[in-house]
Structure 1
């Protein structure tokens, strides 16, 4: 049975979940969300463009907050 709350299929590849990657690398909120959207692109919906655009938004936000 699918567990869309605790372990959504679109956030898992093989034995790894996106949250594990984010935590292992200590990415924090903005970079973690960018990775999340990149890794789920084309998996949650057929068109990956929306997820990629959202990842870019988080990356730009990260740079803005750093003053870059």
Structure 2
């Protein structure tokens, strides 16, 4: 996966991100699988927003193994 610098932070983000809306109101096990697949393919940018419902509550635990 191609990564690009995030300003002057020294961090590099994947050019493809994971939109948290896809995990809104799905079983945690499915969200865990989606996140695992994304990480395995080099995605390291995950986006959530208040309008995504409970996506943040589901995405947080799914990302825990990768912190």
Which protein is bigger by CA-based radius of gyration? 1
Q: More strand per residue: 1 or 2?
A: 2
Normalising to structure 2: TM-score of the pair?
Answer: 0.33
Normalising to structure 1: TM-score of the pair?
Answer: 0.33
Report which structure shows greater RCO (CA 8 Å, sep ≥6).
2
